[in-house]
Amino acid sequence: MTSTLLNTIASPIDVKRLPSSQLPTLCSELREVILTTVAQNGGHLSSNLGVVELTVALHRAFDSPTDHILFDVGHQCYAHKLLTGRQQLFHTLRQYGGLSGFPKPGESAHDAFHAGHSSTAISAGVGIAVGNCLLQRPGYTVVVVGDGALTGGLAYEGLNNAAENGRLIVVLNDNDNSISRNVGSVARYLSKTTSKPIYFKIKDATRKAVQGVPLLGKPAYRLVSRTKRLAKDAMTNSNFFENFGFSYFGPIDGHDIKTMTDVFVRARSIGRPALVHVKTQKGRGVDYAERNPCRYHGVSTFDALTGKNAVKSDTFSDVFGRELTRLAAADGRIVAITAAMQEGLALDGFEAAFPTRFFDVGIAEQHAVTFAAGLASTGLRPCFAVYASFLQRAYDQLVHDVALPGLPVVFGIDRAGLVGEDGDTHQGLFDLSLLNHIPGMAIYTPADYAQLRQALGEAFAQQGPAAVRYPRGTESALPPGRAGDHMRHYGDGAAALTLLTYGRMTANCIEAMELLRREGRSAAVLSLQRVRPVDLEALAAWLPRDGSGSVLFVEEGLENGGVGQQLLLPMLRRGLCKAIDILAVEDRFVPQGRVDQLMTLCGLDAQGIADRARRMEGAP
């Protein structure tokens, strides 16, 4: 069905003009466009289906972009994009050169803050609200934060500094889910909170009645208010947020647009920070997403009618999860930790096999690393599995709590390298630059599933910290090659040009080598299965012994601080080659797009590698 009412919405002003009777139709059309687009392009489905009415209510109560609306993480901003002038481009969602799947200020004035990671929006919102006050600018700051994000400590740092800014409103979108099922005390607390919007109507009526009594009005109202607060706290424990200085509203039905709009308007008027607690259903309106919201949180392409994906092959994540479970069966000291990413990291099998040795700590990467350090100090062998882009949130803990005492914590770093359509906030390009210079850190970079299994076993045998990093998706078929010490050689022995690489780039380098060899050039590929430490003597055995060869280091990561820069100086000092160059991601953030498109963009496809090799040799 081609939407009709949605076609009339060019900006939030049009949302305000709609009569209430047309809002259910608008919400239905929003859901249809979101469903069909995500089915075709992939993306975040259930989280966006759950906030359709909430987004409509926000745009009826507030005036974007004068009022700043921030979405924590941002993976629930699709309806917001459709209502703020981007409907005609929505089919390009998550495509190269198209709309981002997350808020991007460069894309629209209605996107108040760049987002992609969890638990950041309250802190950013406090900064925006304070900044607008200091600069005497109008407008409210509205922060939409999920209950899952409240498992992250940064959210509380933001709440703690909200002070008395009366133009800050936090909307707690409580759907009992983040990516995996919410865990911990915060989730239990939210499930018990029972305030109702009718409370505020009674409060207003009480104030008017009591203040109307001559002489006794204000003192009597203050007494009633104190009594009310004591009773309310005793019944609902809602003082949790009020102790941060917020007026608490809720919980209210997150699919009742009129009630939410009324409460938002009320929250604007009170002159102090407000927290509006709404209850929504993740996956709302699509039966298979309602039944399994975690599965349809972030999805690749699928059939919109049935919800079924194409039959998929094993991925690096699947192999990692199974191998970790196999190793844990043989070693009772092994425990697994995740930060709310159980399904994405394929750890379901581990939890099923060893429920008492599996720990989901919520969206709390800093805590996860130090928790792992504590476990390791008792003699256990913890493995913290995490996406590369999320590990960067816990850098201090890596250095101070794990590496400094030399504790044997294994880090399973998923989505290492280019990840594709999730874009610049999720590209796994920073982990090696962060890990490379940490003393005592062993880093494994397997190129296929067999190497992944071997690397994980070796990592648990280390006496200090070890990282095993692997890409998103499936392995490439590699020729056998010749094995060395944590490295594998392909092509001519002691070739004039060696493409030195690791991980997934091995396949691209082999293809580039074949292009060069067809031109009569002497070329080889040396793939490192472990990039720290590297045995330079073992490496030298594959290069011309007189140092006359050239080396092009090809790296799916940042050049600045990457493996190539770490190896360049030691190799030159030892005279292992006459020339060395590095082909890696330059000093930039890489946008969204298919991985193959991004490889070409960065010059890391086979043709780009061959072109750099020719230029290095001074050839056309």
Instruction: Tell me the per-residue pLDDT of 106-148, one tens digit each, with 9 for 90 and over.
Output: 999 999 999 999 999 999 999 999 999 999 999 999 999 998 8
Q: What is the pLDDT of residue 362?
A: 93
Q: What is the pLDDT of residue 255?
A: 97
Quickly tell me which residue has 């949302």 as its tokens.
15
CATH number at residue 512: 3.40.50.920
Supply the residues annotated as catalytic.
282, 365, 393
Say if residue 505 is in the same domain as residue 597.
yes
Say if residue 106 is in the same domain as residue 243.
yes
Any domain includes 3 = no
Task: State how far the Cα of 509 lies from the Cα of 9, in Å rounded to an integer.
Answer: 49
Give kind and range of the element (H or E) at residue 582: strand 579-585
Say if residue 294 is in the same domain as residue 321.
no
Say if residue 27 is in the same domain as residue 100.
yes
Q: What's the pLDDT tens digit per position in 523-559?
A: 999 999 999 999 999 999 999 999 999 999 999 999 9
Say if residue 323 is in the same domain as residue 355.
yes
Q: Counting runs of H as helices and runs of E as strands, what totals does the chain give?
A: 25, 20
Q: Which residue segment(s) compose the domain that 387 sits in?
A: 316-469
Say if residue 348 is in the same domain as residue 367.
yes
Nearest to 567 by CA among 403, 436, 417: 436
Any domain includes 305 = no
Q: What is the pLDDT of residue 225?
A: 52
- 612 Cβ partners below 8 Å, 6+ apart? 552, 581, 583, 603
Q: What is the pLDDT of residue 219?
A: 59
Q: What is the pLDDT of residue 210?
A: 55
CB atoms within 10 A of CB 557: 29
Any domain includes 9 = no
Contacts of 616-619 with C-beta under 8 Å, sequence gap 24+, read: 616/497, 616/550, 616/552, 616/579, 616/581, 617/497, 617/521, 617/550
What the block records as the tokens of 431 is: 């982990």
Say if residue 407 is in the same domain as residue 496.
no
Say if residue 216 is in the same domain as residue 181.
no
Q: What is the pLDDT of residue 274?
A: 95
Q: What is the pLDDT of residue 493?
A: 84
Q: What is the pLDDT of residue 63?
A: 97
Last residue of one domain, picked from the residues 437, 469, 501: 469
Single-letter amino acid, residue 181: R
Any domain includes 4 = no
Any domain includes 478 = no
DSSP labels, 186-205? HHHHHHH----THHHHHHHH
Any domain includes 6 = no
Q: What's the pLDDT tens digit per position in 300-326?
A: 898 999 998 877 789 999 999 999 999
Last residue of one domain, picked from the residues 443, 469, 495: 469
- 4 Cβ partners below 8 Å, 6+ apart? 29
Q: What is the pLDDT of residue 177?
A: 59
Task: State how far the Cα of 235 lies from the Cα of 453, in Å rounded to an integer.
Answer: 53
DSSP labels, 301-368? S--TTT-PPPP----HHHHHHHHHHHHHHH-TTEEEEESS-TTTTT-HHHHHH-GGGEEE--S-HHHH
Say if residue 188 is in the same domain as residue 215.
no
Domain count, the chain: 4
CATH number at residue 95: 3.40.50.970
| 3-class secondary-structure state, position 266 | helix
Q: What is the pLDDT of residue 32?
A: 96
Nearest to 116 by CA among 415, 455, 514: 415
Q: What is the pLDDT of residue 235?
A: 34
User: DSSP state, 417?
Assistant: B
| 3-class secondary-structure state, position 220 | helix
What the block records as the tokens of 394 is: 């816990």
User: Is beta strand 466-469 parallel, antiparallel or unpaired with respect to 410-414?
Assistant: parallel
Last residue of one domain, picked from the residues 425, 442, 469: 469
Q: What pTM was computed for the model?
A: 0.88
Say if residue 397 is in the same domain as residue 539.
no
Q: What is the pLDDT of residue 589?
A: 96
Any domain includes 1 = no
Say if residue 263 is in the same domain as residue 366.
no
Single-letter amino acid, residue 598: L
Q: What is the pLDDT of residue 338?
A: 97
Task: State how far the Cα of 380 lies from the Cα of 331, in Å rounded to an integer.
Answer: 10
Say if residue 175 is in the same domain as residue 146.
yes
* β-bridge mates for residue 382, sequence order: 335
Using 70 as the pLDDT threshold, list the residues of the chain that sit under it.
1-3, 177-239, 619-620
Preceding omega of 251 cis (within 30 degrees of 0) = yes
Any domain includes 435 = yes
What the block records as the tokens of 575 is: 């005279």
